[in-house]
Amino acid sequence: MRITDKGKLASAKGFANESRLLAALLERGYNASRVDLPHSTYDIVVELEQNNIIRLQVKTVSKSGSVSFKGGVRGGADRFYKSDVKEYIQNTDTSDAVVGVKSTKKNGDTDIDFWFIPSCYIEHLG
């Protein structure tokens, strides 16, 4: 069954972008894994060395070319779901970097761009 509902499609695209980043990291030799914790503020962890990991929050780059730094809100299929989680801006307590993923498709991916934005820089922007 092909997904046509706009919200579900956005959710599927976000999951696909997490997979794209994870695959790129693994192909380049990084020890990385998807985080399977429903209340986590990040999507992927990368082990740089023993007992030293970085936490990555993956975001889909918008059609206008921007990356959202918001967390605690739902996009995609369940974007109207209300929980006790409050909206916040990504920071060094919630992740180490936000990664914007932009893919261009023509019968599969032709180009994938990853934009790494350190959380300390996001904090600096205010």
* Residue 71 pLDDT: 84
* Residue 74 pLDDT: 62
* Residue 83 pLDDT: 55
Q: What is the CA radius of gyration of the chain?
A: 15
Amino acid at 102: K
* Residue 90 pLDDT: 93
Amino acid at 24: A
CATH 3.40.1350 assigned to 6-125: yes
* Residue 80 pLDDT: 52
* Residue 82 pLDDT: 56
For residue 85, give the DSSP letter. Answer: P
Q: How confident is the chain (126 residues) per 10-residue block, as mean pLDDT?
A: 73 91 97 92 94 95 91 60 71 96 80 95 91
* Residue 8 pLDDT: 81
Residue 104, judged by CB atoms within 10 A of its CB (0-12, 13-18, 19+), counts as exposed
* Residue 5 pLDDT: 77
